[in-house]
Amino acid sequence: MTDLDWIDGAITAARPQAMAALLRYFRDMDAAEEAFQDACLRALKSWPKNGPPRDPTAWLIMVGRNAAIDAVRKTSRETVLPPEEMLSDLGDAEAEAAERLDGSHYRDDVLRLLFICCHPDLPATQQIALALRIVSGLSVREIARAFVVGEAAMEQRITRAKARIGAGDAPFEAPGPVERAERFAAVAAMIYLVFNEGYSASGKAIEARGGLCDEAIRLARLLLRLFPAEPEMMGLTALLLLQHARSDARFAADGQAILLEDQDRSLWNRKMIGEGLALIDKAMLKRDPGPYQVQAAIAALHARAATAVETDWAGIDALYATLEIMQPSPVITLNRAVATAKVRGPEAALAMIEPLGARLDGYFHFHGARGAFLLQAGRKGEARQAFDRAISLANTAAEAANIRQYLDRVSAEAEKSAS
């Protein structure tokens, strides 16, 4: 791994706590973002030469804070500065900040920031988009992809949300118990999207984005402590644990993605699976089902199967049907089609996803799944066209390589038939 690879991964992992601390200091999102970016630039210059700091997060906080204060001084803006002795010795300041980061005050700072970003005065789409941008540092393009909208539209949402908070319409303060309950759904959705961004990483990006999964799970556990009797919070935490438990088996040594049915299940994290299964079982006892619980139940059926052949696909199909009612979405229907193909065959799956073509024409996974169903049905020419379309829409090299495996299979079978 090169210095730049390590630095990129360290900065990505440090961003949530660093941004939360800088926002606490400056109470201004633009100022905090600028301070963090300045600290990142200084890290790129300093760390390769001087080596990594003992605590990258504390280093970024202190350097970003100092840089922003220097900028304030240079532009003669009015501000209340901390005592000079706290800024004069970077080494001592870093050590002091590291100690404070170990305390509950800083451990909970990110969660506090999430509730601020998810203020009810902001539309739900702006809440989640803002939190993804500020807390997790996802690019506008990445957030737009998660929402399946254009970059320009997403940029507008984020800009409007920041402007509204900056104007004082959404107070920068820690919410009380009632406000926390009101904002629960938005914060839970944001945590889920952060996890998905890390989970969808592949190849070298795993090192940089993989920490997002751990961060999402950490935040989910914090949220579960605030809402210990909330079954949907149990479901969300269980879902993240059950999915993340498969991480070590999802990619080959060369970075090639390994499909779920081909994974070495001995590599799955059984401790994490046990925690997830216990949570979803406890949630189900509440008899108050929700989308996160249903998704966790689907993941639990995969986790409980000792082999791919033993997977309860009929149960998964039924759970996806329930999820379609709770949360209608073309992507959920597409996911259900995979189970339907296992239970009722590829033609049934194709019939299910055919109406989705117009809405998901620009979605890589739609064409990849359609190609797989067509191949299973023996419609090789149509399968090749679907796979070609999927490759043209691939977001990563791993996605394209996965589809090329199918194309190679089509070509090999065609040659075998001709000989």
Tell me the per-residue pLDDT of 261-306, one tens digit each, with 9 for 90 and over. Answer: 899 999 999 999 999 999 999 999 999 999 999 999 999 999 999 9
Q: Tell me, what's the pLDDT at 118?
A: 79
Look at 103 and 169; give whichever has higher pLDDT.
Answer: 169
**What was the pLDDT predicted at 92?**
43
Q: What letter represents residue 182's amino acid?
A: E
Alpha-carbon distance of 214 to 207, in angstroms, equals 12
Q: What integer best gives the mean pLDDT of the chain?
A: 82
Contacts of 235 (CB under 8 A, 6+ apart): 279, 280, 283, 290, 291, 292, 293, 294, 295, 296
Cα gap 212→218, rounded to integer Å: 10
> Nearest Cα to 401, choosing from 210, 255, 264?
255
- The whole-angstrom separation of Cα 288 and Cα 229 is 11
pTM tops 0.75, yes or no: no
Residue 207 has pLDDT above 70, yes or no: no
Helix axes 380-392, 397-418, angle to 10 degrees: 160
- Yes or no: say if 303 and 277 are a contact pair by the CB < 8 Å rule: yes
Instruction: List 257's β-bridge partners, or say none.
Output: 251
- CA–CA dist 260, 177 (Å, integer): 40
Going by C-alpha positions, the residue among 270, 241, 251, 170 that lies closest to residue 207 is 251
- List Cα–Cα distances, 325 to 202, 282, 328, 329, in angstroms: 32, 23, 6, 9
Better pLDDT: 406 or 329: 329
| pLDDT at residue number 101 | 38
Domains and CATH numbers, the chain: 3-105 (no CATH), 108-201 (no CATH), 341-419 (1.25.40)
49 Cβ contact list (under 8 Å, min separation 6): none
Tokens 């082999």 appear where? Answer: 307
Is residue 300 classed as helix, strand or coil in its secondary structure? Answer: helix
Give the confidence band of 416 by pLDDT, cuts at 50, 70, 90: low
Query: Among residues 396, 328, 344, 329, which one has the least CA distance to residue 368?
Result: 396
Say what the pLDDT of residue 300 is: 98
CB 233 within 8 A of CB 220: yes
13-48 burial code (b ≥16 CB/10 A, e <16) = bbbbbbbbbbbbbbebbebbbbbbebbbebbeebbe
SS3 for 257?
strand
At residue 25, the pLDDT reads 79
* Better pLDDT: 275 or 119: 275
Least confident of 13-22, 62-71, 110-119: 110-119
Contact 230, 184 (CB under 8 A): yes
Where residue 414 falls among pLDDT bands split at 50, 70, 90?
A: low
